[in-house]
């Protein structure tokens, strides 16, 4: 059916394919730009400059190269966060346009790819207004306190998502996830400060709502991650990520390691070498059917925990359906009603960075970090017969880059690729939710948090504590 | 050693907050002065008049022909109905016979307009509930098609000026009817799709079920009309109760909800009304006869005989009435409008009492108010 040249239903599907293609091209090119830029900076600062300095006879060469190496992770985060937020805003707008059959921003740059860059410039040039009667100091501090934790909270995750690359091991933090969670609970102080200092009743209400919401939803969020830590036996994000390597069955979302035994047993069956199937199974599941029940319970629990984590994270970063602190139809814009110019830009930047960080935490804690979802025994590249000829064919081209310049580090490269894929899939899911659901009411939000999520996570915590007793995890 | 058993007195103050007239969610320029205790509304005072344009006075100072073009602005989402009420009142005084084809065209356009108005309500209501980005655009896609139909017959997308005193402005071509027919086949499927997303959505149910309960008695006392009244369980529809035009010849249901009269019922009443409107349009497309479409000359010399008359139509928001006194000159002597939005809005303060601030928009949106229709 066609009315005056407008494409309507019927032609709908073919009409959208073109838009989907544009969206995919835009996303891929932006992602390439981001990660080439970030890795370029890291490589130049952490590898190339020290490499040049090593040959020089300059007095402070050694110290300078150490300083450069130490600054690398910070530079990575500082380069990454603004560009990434720009891309995420654009991606969100284009994706929402896709869901609602609009075109989205498509004027600035090729297919609107530079739209958010233009928006950022516009925001920076706007007048910075402090309302009459506002507490100027608090009003200025609020966006900074809101934004800063997303920078320092992200640092321990860097090593976990890059397969423990030596450049990104800033500090050996045995309580990594604890530190990340502590950092991620600071921004709410910024919101309350901003709401209170604005001298606006709507802002005040938004700030107070945010405090109530953050306190309620941090509990299920932390409980779900603590249960995973209980299964992993460690708080260190790098070792949690490392434990999950070896394919989908080892990931924390499927039993938190309960299926490692199954994975190994099938691998033994497929390779027909090493220990026989039954023997491996017995080593991991020593109590017969009781162990299998335990494994099934663990799988169910961890899947539910993942859901709880996603809900808690959505509430923690104030996204629909939990965007009560900035409920547009009720509170105008909530805590940031009075903000303009650069301060508003920082709030905006931090919101999207927080979304990225909670997605990354989900990937590290539940989705196997930089691990390929195919189990090793199913992955063709893990067999020497496939891998070796490929490596031989590519070695003349790549050996310079890998061995001489250290420009490509294969383990880190693959890990980063998978992390990018998984993280942005979760972000896309959050956008999908935003395009579907209405908003909760504040008392329903509290009910849902305290009466549903917290009891569920507590019950699961106890269940997991018992169920893990009947399985051997890491033999 | 003494143990303090009594907590110190904890004093709370009420906060007065201005919702509007420049608030993103008040659908125009309504101002509500709210007294809040925490997040709970203690008292509501709607302040009207921000959009007062003296439409009645303007009518007395313009010729009949000029005022016909102006009156679409009273209810900008359902311009067909305002022109229809005006035309019917004038025809009652004048005793004009409206050609049969014109009556069918009026019903056809009015029902299409009813759908387009409900579609805009559906989209914006979901925005009021916080589904800001996804769903609200879907009804607008269908509304766009209806606006295209109107553009083809009247040259306008909002201020149609299509229904005139004595008939309708233009006779559509045969292809136009075909397009409308295709639309009526396609539209019920779209309604099913929207219902699949919205009607049983748990968050939507939480936000609307049992919220803003409007009982029969309160609704009658405040003179509430339209789908809002029928959602409270009173079967009152002018098309049925006091049939006009060709409605007696058409078969259709009037959806009435007998249970609660909450916001969810008002939502369902409008959804069902859209389905019924489609049924009416289908019948009209079958029954429409050939013939004249206008019985009065449309120019500056348009005159109505001296006398008084009142006529009302069932608009998407309720009973839209027009009372005219004519002295036989080229201008009406007195004008008075009875607007459904005004009486529907007056029921807001009792509905909002003791509700949290998040429910304000859920309840206010469900009443489907058009601010120019309130203030005229």
The total of structural domains in chain B comes to 1
Nearest-angstrom CA–CA distance, A277 and A269 = 6
Q: Tell me, yes or no, whether A385 lies in a domain.
A: no
Q: For all residues of chain A together, what is the average pLDDT?
A: 83
pLDDT in tens, A434-446: 888 888 888 888 8
A72 and A181 part of one domain: no
Q: Tell me, yes or no, whether A384 lies in a domain.
A: no
Q: Tell me, yes or no, whether B292 lies in a domain.
A: yes
A11 and A131 part of one domain: no
For A437, nearest residue in chain B (alpha carbons): B131
The interaxial angle of helices A187-197 and A136-161, nearest 10 deg, is: 160
A3 and A32 part of one domain: yes
Q: Where are the beta strands (DSSP E) in B146-294?
A: 163-164, 167-168
Q: Predicted ipTM?
A: 0.82
Nearest-angstrom CA–CA distance, B167 and B44 = 44
Q: Which of A41-55, A264-278, B84-98, B290-304 has the lowest mean pLDDT?
A: A264-278
Percent of chain B with pLDDT over 70: 98
Which candidate in A330, A447, A449, A452 is best for mutational testing of the B interface (most B CBs within 10 A)? Answer: A330
User: Please, are residues B284 and B111 in contact by the beta-carbon 8 Å criterion?
Assistant: yes
Cα-based distances in Å from A38 to A24, A79, B101: 21, 6, 71
The pLDDT value given to residue A425: 92
The total of structural domains in chain A comes to 2
Which candidate in A438, A440, A442 is best for mutational testing of the B interface (most B CBs within 10 A)? Answer: A438
Taking an 8 Å cut-off on Cβ atoms, the answer to whether A320 and B133 are in contact is: yes
A147 and A119 part of one domain: no
The CATH number given to whatever domain includes residue B240 is 1.10.645.10
3-state helix, strand, coil in chain A (%, to 5): 75, 0, 25
Closest CA to B275 of B156, B101, B122, B134: B122
Q: Tell me, yes or no, whether B196 lies in a domain.
A: yes
Nearest CA of chain B to the CA of A334: how many Å?
A: 12
**Which tokens is A278 given?**
């039954």
A27 and A95 part of one domain: yes
Burial of A5 (0-12, 13-18, 19+ CB in 10 A): exposed
Range of the domain at B238: 15-375
- Out of A73, A103, A124, a domain closes at A124
Q: Hey, is the C-beta of B129 within 8 angstroms of any chain A C-beta?
A: yes
- Closest residue to B24, CB basis, from A99, A321, A328: A328
pTM given for the model? 0.87
A287 and A164 part of one domain: yes
- Out of A62, A92, A124, a domain closes at A124
Q: Tell me, yes or no, whether B1 lies in a domain.
A: no
Q: Tell me, yes or no, whether B44 lies in a domain.
A: yes
Q: Tell me, yes or no, whether A329 lies in a domain.
A: yes
- In eight-state DSSP terms, residue B29 is S
Taking an 8 Å cut-off on Cβ atoms, the answer to whether B137 and A100 are in contact is: yes
Q: Hey, is the C-beta of B108 within 8 angstroms of any chain A C-beta?
A: no
Taking an 8 Å cut-off on Cβ atoms, the answer to whether A321 and B130 are in contact is: yes
Nearest-angstrom CA–CA distance, B168 and B164 = 5
Nearest-angstrom CA–CA distance, A224 and A233 = 14
Range of the domain at A287: 126-378+409-470
A48 and A180 part of one domain: no
A190 and A103 part of one domain: no
**Which tokens is A145 given?**
């306190």
Please compute Rg for chain B using Cα positions. Answer: 23
pLDDT in tens, B28-53: 788 889 898 878 888 898 888 888 88
Cα-based distances in Å from B127 to A438, B272, B345: 8, 20, 19
Closest CA to A198 of A129, A127, A135: A135
The pLDDT confidence band at residue A416, using thresholds 50, 70 and 90, is confident
Q: Tell me, yes or no, whether B2 lies in a domain.
A: no
Nearest-angstrom CA–CA distance, A322 and A335 = 14
Q: Tell me, yes or no, whether A8 lies in a domain.
A: yes
Ordered per-residue pLDDT tens for chain B, 376 residues: 555 566 667 777 888 888 878 887 777 788 889 898 878 888 898 888 888 888 888 888 888 888 888 888 888 888 899 999 999 999 989 888 888 899 999 999 999 999 999 999 998 898 888 887 778 888 888 898 999 999 999 888 888 889 988 888 888 888 899 999 999 998 998 898 888 888 888 888 888 888 888 888 888 899 899 899 988 888 888 888 888 888 888 888 888 887 778 898 899 999 999 999 999 999 999 998 888 888 888 888 888 888 899 999 999 998 999 999 998 888 888 888 898 999 998 998 988 888 888 888 889 889 888 888 888 8
Q: Tell me, yes or no, whether B6 lies in a domain.
A: no
Taking an 8 Å cut-off on Cβ atoms, the answer to whether B131 and A436 are in contact is: yes
A349 and A455 part of one domain: yes
Q: Tell me, yes or no, whether A475 lies in a domain.
A: no
Q: Tell me, yes or no, whether A402 lies in a domain.
A: no
Q: Tell me, yes or no, whether B269 lies in a domain.
A: yes
Residues of B in contact with A326 (CB under 8 A): none
C-alpha dihedral sign at B24, B25, B29, B35: negative
The pLDDT value given to residue B108: 92
Nearest CA of chain B to the CA of A445: how many Å?
A: 10
Residues of B in contact with A6 (CB under 8 A): 144, 148
- Out of A97, A124, A151, a domain closes at A124
A105 and A166 part of one domain: no
Q: Tell me, yes or no, whether A396 lies in a domain.
A: no
The pLDDT confidence band at residue A475, using thresholds 50, 70 and 90, is low
Q: Tell me, yes or no, whether A92 lies in a domain.
A: yes
The pLDDT value given to residue A4: 42
Does pLDDT of A27 surpass 80? Answer: yes
Q: Tell me, yes or no, whether B7 lies in a domain.
A: no
**Which tokens is B8 given?**
């110190």
A329 and A417 part of one domain: yes
Closest CA to B319 of B234, B246, B211: B234
A337 and A299 part of one domain: yes
The interaxial angle of helices A341-365 and A61-99, nearest 10 deg, is: 90
The pLDDT confidence band at residue A97, using thresholds 50, 70 and 90, is confident
């Amino acid at each position: 059916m066609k009315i005056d040249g407008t494409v309507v239903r019927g032609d709908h599907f073919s009409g959208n394919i073109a838009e989907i293609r544009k969206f995919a091209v835009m996303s891929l090119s932006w992602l390439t730009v981001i990660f080439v830029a970030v890795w370029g900076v890291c490589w130049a600062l952490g590898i190339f400059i020290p490499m040049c300095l090593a040959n020089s006879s300059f007095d402070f060469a050694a110290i300078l190269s150490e300083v450069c190496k130490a600054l690398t992770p910070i530079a990575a985060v500082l380069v990454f966060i603004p560009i990434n937020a720009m891309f995420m805003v654009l991606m969100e707008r284009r994706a929402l346009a896709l869901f609602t059959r609009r075109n989205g921003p498509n004027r600035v740059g090729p297919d609107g790819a530079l739209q958010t860059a233009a928006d950022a410039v516009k925001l920076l040039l706007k007048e910075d207004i402090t309302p009459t009667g506002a507490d100027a100091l608090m009003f200025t501090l609020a966006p900074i306190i809101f934004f800063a934790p997303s920078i320092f909270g992200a640092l321990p995750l860097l090593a976990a998502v890059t397969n423990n690359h030596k450049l990104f091991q800033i500090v050996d933090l045995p309580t990594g996830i604890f530190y990340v969670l502590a950092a991620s609970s600071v921004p709410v102080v910024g919101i309350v400060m901003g709401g209170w200092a604005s001298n606006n009743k709507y802002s005040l209400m938004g700030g107070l709502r945010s405090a109530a919401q953050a306190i309620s939803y941090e509990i299920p969020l932390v409980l779900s991650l603590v249960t995973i830590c209980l299964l992993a036996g460690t708080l260190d994000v790098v070792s949690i990520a490392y434990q999950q390597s070896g394919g989908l069955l080892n990931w924390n979302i499927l039993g938190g390691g309960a299926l490692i035994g199954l994975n190994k047993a099938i691998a033994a069956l497929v390779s027909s070498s090493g220990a026989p199937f039954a023997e491996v199974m017995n080593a991991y599941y020593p109590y017969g059917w009781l162990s299998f029940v335990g494994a099934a319970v663990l799988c169910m629990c961890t899947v539910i925990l993942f859901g709880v984590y996603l809900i808690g994270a959505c509430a923690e970063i104030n996204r629909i359906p939990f965007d009560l602190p900035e409920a547009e139809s009720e509170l105008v814009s909530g805590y940031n009603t009075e903000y303009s110019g650069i301060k508003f830009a920082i709030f905006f930047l931090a919101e999207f960075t927080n979304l990225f960080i909670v997605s990354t935490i989900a990937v590290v804690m539940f989705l196997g970090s930089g691990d390929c979802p195919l189990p090793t025994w199913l992955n063709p590249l893990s067999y020497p017969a496939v891998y070796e000829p490929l490596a031989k064919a590519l070695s003349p081209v790549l050996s310079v880059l890998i061995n001489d310049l250290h420009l490509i580090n294969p383990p880190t490269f693959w890990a980063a690729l998978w992390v990018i894929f998984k993280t942005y899939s979760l972000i896309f899911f959050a956008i999908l939710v935003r395009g579907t659901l209405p908003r909760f009411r504040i008392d329903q939000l509290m009910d849902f948090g305290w009466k549903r999520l917290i009891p569920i996570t507590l019950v699961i915590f106890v269940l997991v504590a018992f169920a893990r007793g009947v399985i051997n995890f890491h033999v | 050693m003494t143990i303090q058993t009594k907590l110190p007195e904890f004093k709370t103050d009420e906060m007065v907050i201005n919702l509007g007239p420049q608030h993103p969610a008040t659908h125009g320029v309504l101002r509500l002065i709210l007294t809040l205790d925490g997040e709970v509304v203690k008292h509501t005072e709607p302040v009207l008049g921000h959009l007062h344009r003296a439409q009645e006075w303007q009518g007395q100072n313009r010729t009949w022909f000029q005022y016909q073009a102006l009156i679409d602005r009273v209810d900008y989402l359902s311009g067909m109905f305002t022109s229809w009420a005006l035309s019917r009142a004038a025809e009652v005084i004048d005793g004009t016979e409206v050609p049969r084809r014109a009556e069918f065209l009026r019903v056809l356009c009015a029902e299409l307009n009813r759908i387009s108005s409900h579609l805009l309500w559906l989209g914006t209501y979901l925005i009021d509930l916080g589904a800001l980005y996804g769903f609200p655009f879907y009804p607008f896609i269908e509304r766009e098609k209806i606006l295209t139909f109107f553009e083809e017959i009247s040259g306008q997308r909002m201020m149609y000026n299509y229904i005139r005193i004595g008939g309708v402005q233009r006779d559509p071509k045969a292809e136009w009817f075909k397009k409308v027919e295709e639309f009526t086949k396609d539209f019920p499927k779209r309604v099913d799709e929207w219902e699949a997303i919205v009607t049983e959505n748990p968050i939507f149910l939480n936000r609307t079920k049992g919220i803003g309960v409007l009982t029969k008695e309160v609704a009658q006392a405040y003179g509430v009309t339209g789908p809002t009244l029928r959602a409270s369980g009173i079967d009152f529809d002018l098309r049925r109760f006091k049939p006009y035009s060709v409605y007696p010849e058409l078969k259709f249901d009037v959806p009435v909800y007998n249970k609660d009269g909450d916001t969810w019922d008002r939502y369902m009443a409008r959804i069902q009304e859209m389905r019924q409107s489609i049924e009416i349009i289908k019948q009209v497309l079958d029954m429409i006869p050939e013939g004249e479409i206008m019985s009065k000359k449309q120019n500056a010399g348009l005159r109505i005989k001296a006398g008084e008359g009142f006529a009302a139509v069932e608009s998407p928001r309720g009973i839209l009435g027009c009372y005219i006194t004519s002295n036989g000159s080229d201008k009406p002597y007195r004008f008075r409008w009875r607007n459904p939005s005004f009486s529907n809005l007056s029921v807001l303060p009792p509905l909002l009492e003791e509700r949290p601030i998040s429910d304000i928009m859920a309840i206010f949106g469900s009443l489907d108010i058009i601010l120019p229709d309130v203030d005229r």
